[in-house]
Amino acid sequence: MLKIGPYELDSPVLLAPMAGVTDLPFRKLCRQFGAGLTTSEMLTSDTKLWHSRKSASRLVVEPQDWPVSMQIAGSEPSELAEAAQACVELGAQIIDINMGCPAKKVCKKAAGSALLGDEKQVERILRAVVEAVEVPVTLKTRTGIAPEQKNGPRVAKLAEDIGVSAVAIHGRTRACRFNGEAEYKTIKNIAAELDIPVLANGDINSAAKAAAVKHNTGAAAVLIGRAALGQPWLFREMKHFLVTGALPAPLNLKQKKQVIEQHLNDLHAFYGPVQGTRIARKHFGWYCQYLANGEHWRKQFNQLQEAEQQLELTDKYFQWLFSYEEEAA
């Protein structure tokens, strides 16, 4: 059983935090399909900025999110410690520190993966946050600064020594961003060295890949990010495959329709009719990648301005898919 601090997770397949994606509606959906842990979108450590509409939506948690994990990012130890305490006051049961994001707007503030270039600052930040809160602290980072500077193992061991409860490693360096293929040898080396759980992340896009990466690295769990976009049922498939060695029966079109409609309704309710319809567009687009003639329907969906219109078009699209499936059979 995978444990992070006192929390026993019922699945070794976890949802990676993703800015602009892992909001409450998406986390609930991934939980529904078996994600053992979900983490909020990245929050800036500057709590003065939490009053914006975007940040405010990232602070919303629910009991179903248990254990509630919230991610913070920044470069100043005292500021991160204060943000961690604020998150705990809002209901966070796990604090995740981002030292893996390669985005320019994050790195230019010496945060995210940019911190890998300053291990002394990494130590100061981790120590400040661990000492500031009584809940488990986790770290999400990368294999290193660049392919020729893979200091990820040192950073991970440092984190364990300071008292971090789990470390997630993305199988790319900061310099690699999301280019090329993830490598897992470094993750294997880290997992062999640490006693705390190591979570493997990067390019894990199928149940077979999840099983292979978990087995080959010795990681305690796999962390799924971009692969979950448009197919949150991947968590169900991966969990079932890791336990039984076989895939579960796939969702049929009717079931997928119910999932997508539920997701759209949740987005509309959570963000309101205006913002909800805007955010629904990207999610619908991701679903369309895995459905017949998806690009045609995605373009139509993106022109709609009202929540009800989006739901009507979704129903129309699936009526077409049902007919298409019958003709193909």
Q: Residues 215, 217, 223, CA angle at the centre, nearest 5°?
A: 85
Grouping H, G, I as helix, E, B as strand and the rest as coil, residue 211 is helix
Two structure tokens written together for 38: 């979900």
Residue 295 has phi, psi (to 5 degrees) of -60, -40
- E-strand ranges in the chain read 2-4, 7-9, 13-15, 43-44, 69-73, 94-99, 137-142, 166-170, 198-201, 221-224
Question: Among residues 30, 87, 101, 107, which one is catalytic?
Answer: 101
Could you give the CA distance from residue 78 to residue 65 in angstroms, rounded to a whole number? Answer: 27
Nearest to 207, CA basis, from 181, 233, 230, 239 = 239
Q: Residues 61, 66, 71, CA angle at the centre, nearest 5°?
A: 60
SS (H, E, C) 238-261: HHHHHHHCCCCCCCCHHHHHHHHH
Asked about 101 being catalytic, the answer comes back as: yes
Q: Which residues are catalytic?
A: 101
